[in-house]
């Protein structure tokens, strides 16, 4: 990448921050030229609304990646939440949402504790916690797909999936959560601490930040966002199953990385992840247009992931790669 950029007289480090939106724009133009229907507002809005659960998960993932960690439990937590939402709806109504969020927060906190106190790297700790979440989902559901009672669902969560002036409510949810996460990251002491930890953890320690606590909160937020993603998914599909969100994890990580938050952390943020998610959405719908089989889509995301990491990672922070 560096070599290519230099050969055309550009400093790659300078154009790097602009790559995500330029990529998004280029993709939209390419796909739009190939398929004029793609650019119809109706289609674009529908596409954006469909991607919101993934977007929410990706925002949670952003907290983890921004501090230089990762949350591999996000998909399993979302899976589990679809089941919890479905089974608890009958008893608790809208309170089911609170239960989902609480369970997500607890699992994320446990990941954070394991990572910071037991010094288990986050890719292992969250993988393990993901296993726990997956099992809870299987156990609660009896390994079956469960369905929500339509009346109960509409009563408690109908507002999530309605439509106002042609705009699906998922989009509002996505925007509200984005605003919240963006504010948290850029305007609060917590967000500033995240940045310091991601960009220079040793200096953050030397400046007296409570690094462990902040990391634990970051993982808890990742768990909460994964749970909200699962809840929205369950409401959209009117049911839950311990495998329903499979295939989300890879695109969620891709969304964060192509958006410009590198695995080494410290730069990027929520707006980047929003752009990254839109890139994923466009790629996904273009794959439909070009009739790439659903079974092959993960392969495409796998390749994009590798390219995105290779292009964005800050090599000066890496001494040894294992």
Partner 1 sequence: MYKLNAVDKHFPGVHALKSVDFEIGRGEIVGLVGENGAGKSTLMKVIYGAYQPDDGSITIDGTTVRFQNPRQAMNHGIGMVFQEQSLITNLTVMENIFLGFEHQFVSMGVINWSKMAEAARQQLGKVKLDIDPATVTAKLSFAQRQLVELAKVLTLEERVDGDLVILLDEPTSVLAEDEVKLLFKLVRDLTKRASFIFVSHRMDEVLELSDRVYVMKDGAIVDVVTKATADIDAIQHKMVGRDVDKEYYREQKQKDYSDEVLVSFDNVSLGTRYKDISFDLHRGEVLCLVGVEGSGREAILRTIYGLDKPDAGTVSIKGQPVTKFHARAGVENGIGYVPRERKIEGIVAGMNVYENMTLSQMQNYSKNGVLRISDEKLLAQKWIDRLGIKTPNVYKDCGGLSGGNQQKVVLAKWRSAGSDIILLDHPTRGLDIGAKEDVYDMVREMSDDGVGIVLVADTLEEAIGLAHTIIVVKDGVAQRAFDGFRDGKPSLFDLVHQMI
Interface residue list for partner 1 (CB under 8 A): 187-190, 192-193, 195-196, 198-200, 202-211, 266-267
Return the number of the residue (146 or 214) whose C-beta is nearest partner 1. 214
Return the number of the residue (140 or 313) whose C-beta is nearest partner 1. 313
Q: Are 62 and 191 in contact (CB under 8 A)?
A: no
Q: Are 263 and 237 in contact (CB under 8 A)?
A: no
Return the number of the residue (196 or 253) whose C-beta is nearest partner 1. 196
Q: Min. distance of Cβ 198 from partner 1 in angstroms?
A: 8
What sign has the CA pseudo-torsion 26, 27, 30, 31?
Answer: negative
Half-sphere exposure of 113 toward its Cβ, with a 13 Å CA cutoff? 7
Q: Quote the tokens at residue 132.
A: 């726990």
CA dist., res. 109 & res. 218, Å (int):
8
Return the number of the residue (165 or 202) whose C-beta is nearest partner 1. 202
Return the number of the residue (163 or 186) whose C-beta is nearest partner 1. 186
Q: Min. distance of Cβ 182 from partner 1 in angstroms?
A: 13
Q: Are 242 and 86 in contact (CB under 8 A)?
A: no
CA dist., res. 85 & res. 96, Å (int):
6
CA dist., res. 144 & res. 137, Å (int):
10
Q: Min. distance of Cβ 19 from partner 1 in angstroms?
A: 17
Q: Min. distance of Cβ 203 from partner 1 in angstroms?
A: 5
Q: Min. distance of Cβ 209 from partner 1 in angstroms?
A: 7
Q: Min. distance of Cβ 188 from partner 1 in angstroms?
A: 5
* Residues ≥6 apart with Cβ < 8 Å to 275: 20, 21, 24, 259, 260
| Parallel/antiparallel/unpaired status of strands 167-168 and 163-164 | antiparallel
Q: Min. distance of Cβ 26 from partner 1 in angstroms?
A: 27
Return the number of the residue (169 or 192) whose C-beta is nearest partner 1. 192
Q: Quote the tokens at residue 120.
A: 């288990």
The C-alpha torsion from 296 through 298 and 302 to 308, rounded to 10°, is 110
* Residues ≥6 apart with Cβ < 8 Å to 74: 57, 60, 61, 126, 130, 222, 225, 226, 229, 248, 249, 252
Return the number of the residue (78 or 204) whose C-beta is nearest partner 1. 204
Closest CA relative to residue 104, chosen from 134, 72, 127, 74:
74
Q: Min. distance of Cβ 186 from partner 1 in angstroms?
A: 9
What sign has the CA pseudo-torsion 171, 172, 177, 178?
Answer: positive
Return the number of the residue (180 or 290) whose C-beta is nearest partner 1. 180
């Amino acid at each position: 990448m560096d070599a290519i950029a230099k050969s055309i007289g550009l400093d790659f480090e300078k154009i790097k921050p602009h790559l995500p939106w330029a990529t998004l724009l280029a993709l939209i133009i390419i796909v739009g030229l190939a398929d004029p229907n793609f650019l119809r507002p109706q289609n674009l809005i529908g596409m954006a609304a469909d991607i919101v659960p993934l977007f929410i998960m990706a925002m949670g993932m952003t907290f983890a990646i921004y501090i230089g960690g990762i949350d591999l439990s996000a998909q399993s937590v979302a899976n589990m939440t679809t089941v919890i939402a479905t089974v608890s709806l009958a008893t608790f109504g809208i309170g089911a949402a609170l239960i989902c969020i609480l369970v997500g927060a607890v699992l994320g906190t446990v990941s954070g504790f394991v990572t910071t106190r037991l010094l288990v790297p986050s890719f292992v700790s969250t993988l393990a916690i993901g296993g726990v979440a997956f099992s809870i989902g299987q156990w609660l559901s009896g390994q079956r797909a469960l369905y929500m009672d339509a009346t109960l669902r509409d009563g408690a969560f109908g507002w999530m999936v309605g439509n106002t002036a042609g705009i699906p409510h998922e989009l509002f949810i996505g925007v509200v959560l984005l605003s919240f996460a963006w504010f948290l990251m850029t305007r609060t002491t917590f967000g500033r601490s995240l940045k310091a930890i991601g960009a220079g953890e040793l200096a953050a320690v030397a400046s007296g930040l409570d690094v462990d606590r902040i990391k634990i909160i970051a993982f808890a937020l990742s768990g909460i966002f994964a749970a909200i993603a699962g809840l929205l998914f369950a409401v959209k599909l009117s049911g839950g199953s311990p495998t329903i969100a499979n295939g989300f994890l890879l695109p969620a990580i891709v969304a964060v990385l192509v958006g410009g938050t590198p695995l080494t952390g410290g730069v990027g943020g929520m707006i980047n992840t929003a752009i990254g998610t839109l890139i994923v959405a466009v790629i996904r719908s273009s794959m439909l247009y070009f009739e790439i089989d659903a079974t092959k889509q993960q392969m495409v995301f796998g390749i994009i992931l590798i390219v995105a990491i290779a292009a964005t990672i800050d090599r000066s922070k890496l001494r040894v790669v294992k």
